[in-house]
Amino acid sequence: MKAKHSVTVFIIDDEFPKIQEFREMGVYNSAISMENLYHLAINSEWQHHLSYLQQLIKDIYTSESRVQGYVELIGFSTPTQALKEIDAGLIPNVVIYDWEYLNSPAYSQNSSEWLLNILLVPDVFVFVYSNLRDQLPKYLNQSNLTSHFSRFQLFAKGGQVQSSFNAEEFIFQHIIGLATDRGEIKINGIKIEFTKNKYLKSASDLLYLQRILGSEYILEELAKIEFRVNELGVEKILNDSKGYLLFSEKKNMLLAPSEDTIRNDIEPISKLSFTEVISRFSLDALEDTITRGFLVMK
């Protein structure tokens, strides 16, 4: 039997349905309990683009892991409310973080700063969850956030991301996977067996591969390895991509092939396949080099 772990999940969103009963009780002014979130999910009308979030709350609340006491779900109308609870000692494992605040533009302007403050919590994983998905990379690629790049993922509200991953389904499976430590997740309705290996330590590490190779490619490759993610499967996915980086022994630097201006200054260089890069260095190093164009190894 798999070990189980307590998982605390924050949902930060200003568009929870506002009902008169909860307004009078001041429910929206501080942490919203999971019982109240579930009450909203089953009794209130949600805007169309929030229907997937509504279902996510239902799925988490009715899950076996939550019923057995291994998942705690807490809602907040603003990031400042969540940060106040964090300062008081309530530490999340997962945060579903709405970026934009339509009724308060000033809040949206501070979203990156608040995200950074949340990421200062050790080991927290943040799903940046927004209608503005395609407009956010310029904010998320700021230098103060890139050092935390492995601990947040950008998802669009309301279903599909890049026509492959169902955002809410992936978030749900990530949460349940943390609670049960089980070796299975779902992607686009497909059950995928996950085995810890020297490349990927947890199911959420598949997000690394998604960012490196693209989600559509990942789904195609998972089908070829019969929906098992293990050491051999990861090697096949990476090798079939035929991706590679350049490496300078002299400068101890990884370099993306497109960076011609730097290339002339660091010769001689050798070619390393993606698999060789993560075997010799790490998956982080591979992603960082692709994102930045080059990486000096320490």
pLDDT digits 0-9 by tens, 234-259: 888 888 889 999 998 888 889 888 76
Summarised one tens digit per residue, pLDDT across range 167-209 is 787 788 788 878 876 666 666 666 777 777 788 876 667 777 8
* All structural domains of the chain with their residue ranges: 7-182, 243-296
Band (31; pLDDT cuts 50, 70, 90): very high
Specify the pLDDT at position 1: 38
Band (103; pLDDT cuts 50, 70, 90): low
The pair of structure tokens assigned to 48 is 């169309």
Cβ count near 203 (within 10 Å): 25
Selected residue with higher pLDDT from 165 and 13: 13
Least confident of 177-186, 210-219, 239-248, 271-280: 177-186
Specify the pLDDT at position 276: 93
The pair of structure tokens assigned to 216 is 């559509």
Of the candidates 182, 186, 158, 161, the residue with the CA atom closest to the CA atom of residue 172: 186
276 forms beta bridges with: none
Least confident of 60-74, 79-93, 178-192: 178-192
Cα–Cα dist 15/33, whole Å: 16
**Residue 133 predicted with pLDDT over 80:** no
DSSP 8-class letter at 195? -
Strand 190-194 relative to strand 184-187, pairing: antiparallel
The pair of structure tokens assigned to 7 is 């998982």
Give the containing element (helix H, strand E) for 191.
strand 190-194
- Among 32-46, 57-71, 118-132, top mean pLDDT goes to 32-46
**Residue 124 predicted with pLDDT over 80:** yes
**Residue 163 predicted with pLDDT over 50:** no
Specify the pLDDT at position 2: 44
Of the candidates 103, 80, 66, 97, the residue with the CA atom closest to the CA atom of residue 31: 80
Polymer length of the chain = 298
**Residue 162 predicted with pLDDT over 50:** no
**Residue 41 predicted with pLDDT over 70:** yes
Indicate the average pLDDT of the chain: 82
**Residue 37 predicted with pLDDT over 70:** yes
**Residue 217 predicted with pLDDT over 60:** yes
- Residue 197 burial (CB < 10 Å; 0-12/13-18/19+)? middle
**pTM for this structure?**
0.67
Q: Give yes or no for a cis peptide into 137 (omega within 30° of 0).
A: no
Residues 98-117 have a mean pLDDT of: 75
Question: What CATH architecture is 7-182?
Answer: 3-Layer(aba) Sandwich (3.40)
Question: CA end-to-end span of the chain, whole Å?
Answer: 41
190 forms beta bridges with: 187
Contact by Cβ (8 Å): 281, 297: yes
Selected residue with higher pLDDT from 50 and 39: 39
Residue linked to tokens 């995200």: 115
Specify the pLDDT at position 16: 95
**Residue 161 predicted with pLDDT over 50:** no
Contact by Cβ (8 Å): 47, 18: no
Cα–Cα dist 171/38, whole Å: 17
